[in-house]
A and B are shown apart, each in its own frame.
Chain A
Amino acid sequence: MLKIIVHAIGRSILSLFFGIPAVKPLPDGQCIVISNHNTHLDTLILFRLFPLHRVRKVKVIAAQDYFSRGIGGFLGRLVFNLILLERRATKAATALEPIAEALRQGFSIIVFPEGTRGDPGVIQPFKSGIGKLAVDFPELPVYPVFLSGIEKTLPRGGSLPVPFCINLAVKPPVFGRDFLHLDPSQARKHCAARLEEIIRQAASEGANPTG
């Protein structure tokens, strides 16, 4: 309940300052949301895709080295159900296990496949881990979301969020089952590449936004 209130207040404040256009919530049911990543605000905006009564069933993947301590980590764990992931995992096979576990428990997850915030406005190559998740859970829809305008609000290294209009475009979902005919390592790579392509496509359309 506390979480829902915090989310409701957070949403109103965000809309007031960043004027987020009305987005349709994602269809009911478990899903994976991926997006380009530039600022800490990204997570807050992506949560708007879930209606308030569903926010408890959503988990966010975050970097362990950054979010395991301090005020950011505390707030993150309180509000966003962070799953902390080691960025320099030693064993590739087990690195994604916490996420798979959450998915098996029925949580929806938000992932930033770029792995880091990077330079504002630049999309970095996606890590193939997202492909592995999609292929391991072939029936879950993976929604690629393109966020724009947000890179101006709070770029890496900036400490003051400056209001700018934020736009988000939700693209049609990709399903892991479409890649199952390939052998596992290929399926993973193709799936991640497909998602990256959709986001880059949206970015090039967004260079001349009309609506």
Chain B
Amino acid sequence: MKPLQMGALFLIIGGSFFLLQHKGEKEMLLVMAALVAILAFFSLVWRWMEHKQNPMAKEIRDRTITWWWMVAVFIVALSTHRLVSFVFLGFLCFASLREYYSILPMHETVESNLLSFKDRASIFISYLTIPVIIYLAYIQWYELFIILIPVYVFLLIPILFILQNRTKGSLKSLGIITLGFMFFVHNLGHCLFMINTGAIVLMYCFTLTEIRDLLSFWIGKGFAAWSGKMNAGALKNLLERRIAPDISPKKTWAAGIASALLTATLSLVFVPLMPPFPDGSMSYPYCAWVGLMIGLLGLFGDLAFSMIKRDIGVKDSGSVLPGHGGIIDRVDSLIFTIPVVFHLIRWNYF
């Protein structure tokens, strides 16, 4: 990494730490410090791997550097001002929605291809819902926030299609566009309302989801190496049972469940940090249950977007984040975990 970038990075992270300290948010400071420590550890790992000339060193290096930047931006967004957090997370929704619509091919005729140029109008409307959602979450109008997308926007798009006088390919376009705003504005947009329940809840969900991604990657690798050495038998079969071989040949049930259980255990760390909710504080068993849900749903979120990318025929959804691919490759599990974590916590404690 260049010295200038490194300096900027430390300035950003140090500045946000100072802000958090100033505002007295001890819990956030702790989580952020833990994240920075993990990143520092991985930076050392990659140096060591480079020294050993491990072929994976470059990949780890790119990933870690991108992680540094993502964490830095995230820390700034959550430590400065409430409004900054809303605008940043709203922009995250916008950027992933844009990426989703961009990986789909678009042609004048809709028969053989996915989108038509007439869809630009409804795509524009789905972008427009994002500022509305940001505003509704900011003023904490929960009832409208929760039904705006699945009721009103959901019905508005077919009405727009009718006004455009379309027949051919309308069902396909309707499905694709609806899926886009349901996933990236409604589901991912829950993180906006999550800020109101406390930034630490948001950190809880984000951190555990990303840690689950990491864990499933390494546990999957470990299990594969382990079962490779094993003789044929029941245990080997169990370890190699794959979830959906056509979607992802490497994802096994064993690694998925193991990382889900580990995520549930790790989630307990957050219990003492959680703010008091209206109906009492988070209990250990409930926290483990939510953590297990993160573990399981993260797995399927990951696979859901592998499925979509396979259908379209792309490997990565973009090239914005070096070493990771696109933004969707990073937020895919969050789309599944965020709404469920939000509703589980809200249902029991609000």
Contact = CB atoms under 8 A, between A and B. Distances in A.
B102 interface: yes
B99 A165 contact: yes
Contacts of B107: 121
A19 B314 contact: no
A121 to B, nearest CB: 7
Contacts of B101: 164
A27 interface: no
Given A19-B320, A155-B117, A162 B102 contact: no
Contact of A19 (B95, B313, B316): B95
B122 to A, nearest CB: 10
Contact of B117 (A152, A165, A210): A152
Contacts of A163: 94, 98, 127
Given A19-B320, A152-B117, A211-B319, A164 B98 contact: yes
Interface in B88-104: 94-95, 98-99, 101-103
Given A121-B107, A164-B101, A211 B127 contact: no
B313 to A, nearest CB: 6
Contact of A152 (B106, B316, B320): B106
B318 interface: yes
B127 to A, nearest CB: 6
Nearest to A165: B102
B328 to A, nearest CB: 11
B152 interface: no
B108 interface: yes
Interface string B123-154: 11001000000000000000000000000000
Nearest to B318: A165
B138 to A, nearest CB: 20
B117 A120 contact: yes
B120 A152 contact: yes
B98 A165 contact: yes
A24 B3 CA distance: 19
Nearest to B326: A165
Contacts of A19: 95, 98-99, 320
Given A21-B319, A152-B117, A164 B102 contact: yes
B315 interface: yes
B340 to A, nearest CB: 28
A149 interface: yes
A133 to B, nearest CB: 32
A211 B316 contact: yes
A206 to B, nearest CB: 11
Interface residues on A, range: 20 to 34
Q: Is the interface of A mostly helix, strand, loop or mixed?
A: loop
B322 to A, nearest CB: 9
B92 to A, nearest CB: 12
A208 B101 CA distance: 15
A93 interface: no
Interface string B102-118: 11001110000000010
Contacts of B314: 208-210
A162 B123 contact: yes
Interface in A157-211: 158, 160, 162-165, 167, 208-211
A174 B124 CA distance: 39
Interface in A102-137: 119-121
A211 B319 CA distance: 5
Interface string A75-92: 000000000000000000
Contacts of B95: 19
Contacts of A152: 102, 106, 117, 120
A162 B316 CA distance: 22
A123 to B, nearest CB: 14
Contacts of B315: 210-211
Nearest to A154: B120
Nearest to A151: B106
Contacts of B102: 149, 152, 164-165
Given A19-B320, A211-B316, A211-B319, A162 B120 contact: yes
A144 B315 CA distance: 26
Interface of A: 19, 21, 119-121, 149, 151-152, 155, 158, 160, 162-165, 167, 208-211
Interface of B: 94-95, 98-99, 101-103, 106-108, 117, 120, 123-124, 127, 313-316, 318-320, 325
30 contacts: A19-B95, A19-B99, A19-B320, A21-B319, A21-B320, A119-B108, A120-B108, A120-B117, A121-B106, A121-B107, A151-B106, A152-B106, A152-B117, A152-B120, A155-B117, A158-B117, A158-B120, A160-B120, A160-B124, A162-B123, A163-B98, A163-B127, A164-B98, A164-B101, A165-B98, A165-B102, A208-B313, A208-B314, A209-B103, A210-B316
